[in-house]
Amino acid sequence: MQIYTTFPEGVRYLCNIEECSGCCTLFEDIRIYDDEIEKFEAMGYSKFYEIRENYNFLKHPCHFLEGKFCSIHKKSEKFNKFSTCRKYPFYAVMLRNKNIVVDVKWACPGISLERGEIIDKKLLLKEFLQAENPPLSSLDEVVYFHNSSRQKIEWKALEGLYSIISDALITENISIYKSILLLTGLVRKIGSELGSKPLVTTGDLRFIEDFLQNYDVEEFIEQTRTGTPIDMDFIGFSSILNSIFEFEINPEYAVKKLGIKIGGEEKVNFNDNLHDIFTQPLSLKASKLMKYYLIQNLRESLTKPWDFISTYFWSLGVAGMIDYIARLDAFKTINIVTDVEVRKAVRIVDFLNKHVSTYRDFAFEIYPNLGMKYLQFFITGYDSGLGGY
């Protein structure tokens, strides 16, 4: 069993309840522990939790909310909260091989690279490891690298592969547009090098590590762009987005439930002019935030029973949804997309992933398809708008 993080070094956190978006209202599965229940019952509280599958969870909506804010936090700051709440916006997910990934909710306005206390990753991991007490498991499991070819990869190699890609995307100070092209190029190179192997091992990853030490980033990105088949445009991308929103999911449902305004309006029209919307530039902070969320989705998809290639398109599809919603939010109010709009879009997509059962059921079909179209759309778009900064 291993435990590690996926977010970059230098992440800071400063809780500011005045800016809080009430993200704890998004989640129903807030696990609590017996000693915490005893403490709060001794304080006079009752009927604030329920037992599901032999675990204790806070009831939804949370008994301790006042509006969308935590009454415990207001009275005594974070230290007296339940351990799961106290750790938020950091959270842990268990992968299919029982390894633990600790990540951060980028929707939280307290997370940034500019202000607050720098997060000590070692202390954070120690706290999660002690609290969760996860079961030990072998690292020798084998899963599919590419389902259609029945090709397999060792779990340790798969996690190593995602680490290599994540590090490359974080290290390069490039826009979300170029990050997506870089990711595409790396996936293609990995596929071409490893496609003939029936089983991919950690030793097979040496080539990509050597490549990343010596390659020219801009040249590699341009090769990827010019080598990508193009059959998509604004109208085509608009059509597939509209069909997804009409038949599979409806972000307006999330907007209403979360009490969010898009473009300063309660009523949201998601069938707006994509040509104008996507020619808006992204701020540096917005572009970085989108990139980190893209990386997070790459890694968190290891909790799902998908192969490596499907994960890639899933992640691009998520990025496409967030990019579109963030640009739509900024379209009628400002002429540049900031991190505020991106965080709002992240909350909407996180909410849909968590709460809408029909959306979750169709997610595997929706996102890879949208991801492929999004990549093609990116390459046909205007670099001034899609380039980020």
Would you say 57 and 85 are in contact if contact means Cβ atoms under 8 Å apart? Answer: no
Measured over the CA atoms of residue 144, residue 146, residue 149 and residue 153, the dihedral's sign is: negative
Hey, which residues does 337 pair with through a beta bridge?
282
The pLDDT value given to residue 78: 53
The pLDDT value given to residue 248: 65
Strand order in the sheet with 100-104: 3-5, 100-104, 90-94
Longest dimension (CA), the chain: 66
The pLDDT value given to residue 1: 65
**CA 64 – CA 91 distance, rounded (Å):** 20
The pLDDT value given to residue 134: 47
Instruction: Work out the number of other CB atoms within 10 angstroms of the CB of residue 99.
Output: 19
User: What is the end-to-end Cα distance of the chain in Å, rounded?
Assistant: 40
The pLDDT value given to residue 240: 78
The pLDDT value given to residue 385: 45
**CA 263 – CA 252 distance, rounded (Å):** 13
Would you say 337 and 327 are in contact if contact means Cβ atoms under 8 Å apart? Answer: yes
pLDDT of the chain, 389 residues: tens digit per residue: 677 787 878 888 887 767 776 677 666 678 888 888 998 898 888 889 999 888 888 987 788 888 777 888 777 655 578 888 888 888 887 777 777 888 888 888 888 878 788 888 887 877 776 655 544 444 457 888 887 888 899 888 888 898 899 889 988 888 888 898 999 999 999 989 998 899 999 999 999 999 999 999 999 998 988 887 777 677 777 777 777 777 667 788 888 878 888 888 877 777 777 778 887 888 888 988 999 889 888 877 777 777 888 888 888 888 888 998 999 999 888 888 999 999 999 988 888 877 665 555 566 677 787 888 888 877 775 444 444 43
Phi and psi at residue 143, to the nearest 5° = -130, 180
pTM of the model: 0.84
* Nearest to 184, CA basis, from 313, 314, 321: 313
The pLDDT value given to residue 185: 93
Q: CA angle, 255 as apex, 250 and 259 as ends, to 5°? A: 155
Phi and psi at residue 65, to the nearest 5° = -80, 140
Would you say 13 and 89 are in contact if contact means Cβ atoms under 8 Å apart? Answer: yes
**Residue holding tokens 């970085």?**
288
The pLDDT value given to residue 361: 59
* Nearest to 205, CA basis, from 254, 241, 162: 162
